[in-house]
């Protein structure tokens, strides 16, 4: 079994890219990779993480289309869709292909467009991850997150000021990240002046959905040394999936993160988590064991979401997990252009919007 | 939004009658109805019409609308514990947010969900209202 490495990463600024479609966003990161690697090796596999391609650009078969767009003819291609956990799922697939020896070098690209349509149209699509009854009765994910927030406040005796701590930290982190969508600081007043989406959940409790693309090269040891002077090893990927239940633990996060950190023998300090809502940030921190139940947002660990997270770096749907992986790779390689922490290991937790699927990944510098 | 008769017809148990799957092995309910128990994996499940009576565990007032649901705004979405012990997330109607409280007893009622603007097909679904 081969060791698996990341040998390069490239990403666009998360933003409302009205002048760019899926092709252009992908190509920007593709060219970015080609311009930064020591030696370009044509990947034998392209995996595209994308959730809303048919909704926003009436486009299917993105694997073969983006391979052709970038002149990667004759290779194995996939498009991976698992809601907003598509990025994590694509990483899992890439890791498995290289680990097993089926592939030597995989280009994993996450790309998403969500800004071209009114939010009511996109909310319709985001709601398709809910069960059939919930979808057809008009419910959206934000309302379910709001119900979780209510349950949390009641169980632990918190008020909404507790949840304001998350976006305040995320916006502070994002200020230094050139790839971030919302590069400005906020305070409690900003939080309380933001509109209520679904009571008590506010706009500033919500990840900022926007367009973006990120690409990473996942490869074996032989090619990793050719492509980069400082490849970072992917020590493991662990995946778990449960049907959503209205509870205050996320069993998929708990299973997958404990499995993958057991391989490391400890918990990394530098971590990117999926904070689609402030309440989800709290539940991910607590279910993963990074924080205690009921007090995670009182004392947010320093190395969490240095990018600004979904809240402020931005939330490019199925591409989010690839951003997270690129950010941790850059942190460990010492090339992340935003807020940095030093460490020998890092992790990501890529989940769906409500945390029912989780992909945990641990990276180590060796 | 495109609604098609076959999808609504196939879902009539869940959408119109509040039918759930009851597992004969572990005794737990799964909703929407399906032929395998979500909890223990048993295929020994029967379909059972739920009473439709329950109480509000929690609720939210939603302002983020979806295509076709504009006239529903603001919309109350509740977490409802039914008499059978199953908890579901569903719209609550015929009450203002100021009047609704946790613990309020509710009952299922069939109401309009939305219409397909292309072919005029109207979709109905059960919601809940205070007793």
- pLDDT tens for each residue of A52-77: 999 899 999 999 999 999 999 999 99
CB B111 within 8 A of CB B88: no
CATH says A4-117+210-234 is which class?
alpha beta
Residue A277 DSSP label: B
Kindly determine whether residue B61 and residue A196, on different chains, have CB atoms separated by under 8 Å. Answer: yes
Backbone angles phi, psi at A161, to 5 degrees: -65, -25
Per-residue pLDDT tens for A224-274? 999 999 999 999 999 999 987 778 999 999 999 999 999 999 999 999 999
A196 touches chain B (CB under 8 A): yes
Interval A202-229 mean pLDDT: 97
Encode pLDDT of A10-39 as tens digits. Answer: 999 999 999 999 999 999 999 999 999 999
The answer to whether the CB atoms of A138 and B69 lie below 8 A apart is: yes
Contacts of B6 (CB under 8 A, 6+ apart): none
* The model's pTM: 0.96
B contacts of A127 (beta carbons < 8 Å): 66
Q: Report B:37-96 residues touching A (Cβ under 8 A).
A: 38, 57-70, 72, 75, 77, 79, 87-91
Same CATH topology for A4-117+210-234 and A138-209+242-364: the answer is yes
Enumerate the residues of chain B whose CB falls inside 8 A of the CB of residue A195: 63
Q: What tens digit of pLDDT does each residue of A100-146 get?
A: 999 999 999 999 999 999 998 999 999 999 999 999 999 999 999 99
Confidence tier at A45 by pLDDT (50, 70, 90): very high
The CATH classification of domain B5-11+51-130, taken from the options 2.40.160, 1.10.3470, 2.40.30, 2.40.50 = 2.40.50
Cα four-point dihedral sign A85, A86, A89, A91: negative
d(CA B43, CA B49): 18
A26/A37 Cα distance (integer angstroms)? 17
| Banded pLDDT at A350 (limits 50, 70, 90) | very high
- H or E element that contains A117: none
- A74 in reach of chain B (CB within 8 A): no
Half-sphere exposure of B71 (CA within 13 A, CB side): 5
Compute the CA torsion angle A254, A256, A259, A261 (nearest 10 deg).
-80
Q: Given a cut of 90, is residue B90 above it in pLDDT?
A: yes
Q: Is A197 on the interface with B (CB under 8 A)?
A: yes
A136-190, pLDDT tens digit by residue?
A: 999 999 999 999 999 999 999 999 999 999 999 999 999 999 999 999 999 999 9
Evaluate if residue B1 carries a pLDDT over 70.
no
A138-209+242-364, which class in CATH?
Answer: alpha beta
> What is the percent of chain A where pLDDT is above 70?
100
**Cβ A123–B66 below 8 Å, yes or no?**
yes
The DSSP call for residue A192 is: H
Domain ranges of chain A: 4-117+210-234, 138-209+242-364
Mutate to test the interface with A, among B89, B108, B109, B124 (most CBs of A within 10 A): B89
Whose CA is closest to A234, among A245, A246, A224, A249?
A224
Are residues B62 and A140, on separate chains, in Cβ contact within 8 Å?
A: yes
pLDDT at A1 over 90: no
- Is the CB of residue B31 less than 8 Å away from at least one CB of chain A? yes
pLDDT in tens, B8-53: 899 999 899 999 999 999 999 999 999 999 999 999 999 999 999 9
């Amino acid at each position: 079994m081969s060791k698996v490495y990341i040998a390069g990463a490239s990403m666009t600024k998360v933003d409302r890219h009205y002048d760019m479609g899926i092709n252009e966003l992908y190509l920007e990161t593709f060219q970015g990779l080609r311009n930064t690697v020591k030696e370009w090796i044509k990947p034998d596999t392209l995996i595209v993480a994308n959730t809303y391609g048919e909704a926003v650009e009436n486009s299917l078969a993105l694997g073969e289309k983006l391979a052709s767009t970038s002149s990667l003819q004759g290779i194995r291609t996939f498009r991976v869709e698992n809601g907003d956990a598509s990025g994590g799922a694509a990483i899992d697939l890439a890791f498995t292909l290289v680990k097993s020896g089926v592939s030597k070098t995989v280009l994993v690209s996450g790309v998403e467009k969500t800004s071209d349509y009114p939010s009511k149209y996109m909310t319709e699509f985001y709601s398709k991850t809910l069960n059939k009854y919930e979808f057809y009765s008009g419910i959206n994910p934000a309302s379910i997150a709001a119900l979780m927030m209510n349950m949390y406040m009641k169980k632990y005796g918190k008020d909404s000021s507790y949840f304001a701590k998350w976006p305040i930290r995320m916006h502070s982190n994002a200020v230094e990240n050139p790839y971030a969508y919302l590069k400005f600081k906020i305070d409690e007043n900003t939080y309380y002046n933001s509109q209520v989406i679904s009571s008590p959940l506010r706009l500033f409790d919500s990840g900022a959905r926007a367009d973006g693309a990120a690409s990473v090269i996942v490869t074996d040891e032989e090619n990793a040394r050719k492509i980069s002077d400082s490849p970072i090893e992917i020590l493991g990927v662990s995946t778990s999936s449960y049907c959503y239940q209205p509870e205050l633990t996320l069993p998929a996060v708990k299973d997958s993160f404990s499995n993958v950190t057991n391989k490391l023998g400890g918990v990394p300090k530098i971590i990117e988590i999926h904070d689609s809502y402030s309440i989800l940030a709290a539940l991910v921190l607590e279910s993963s064991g990074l924080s205690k139940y009921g007090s995670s947002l009182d004392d947010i660990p320093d190395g969490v979401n240095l990018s600004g997270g979904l809240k402020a770096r931005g939330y490019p749907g199925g591409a989010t997990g690839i951003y997270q992986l690129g950010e941790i790779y850059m942190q460990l390689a010492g090339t992340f252009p935003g807020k940095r922490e030093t460490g020998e290991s890092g992790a990501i937790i890529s989940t769906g919007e409500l945390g029912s699927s989780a992909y945990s990944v641990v990276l180590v510098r060796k | 939004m495109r609604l098609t008769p076959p999808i609504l017809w196939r879902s009539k148990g869940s959408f119109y009658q509040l039918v759930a799957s009851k597992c004969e092995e572990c005794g737990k309910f799964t909703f929407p109805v399906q032929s395998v128990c979500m909890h223990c994996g048993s295929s020994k499940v029967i379909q059972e019409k739920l009473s439709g009576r329950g109480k509000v565990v929690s609720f939210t007032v939603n302002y983020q609308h979806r295509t076709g649901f504009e006239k529903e705004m603001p919309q109350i979405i509740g977490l409802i514990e039914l008499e059978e012990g199953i908890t579901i997330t569903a719209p609550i109607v015929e009450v203002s947010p100021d009047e609704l409280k946790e613990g309020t007893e509710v009952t299922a009622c069939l109401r309009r969900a939305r219409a397909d603007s292309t072919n005029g097909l109207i979709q109905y679904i059960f919601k809940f209202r205070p007793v």
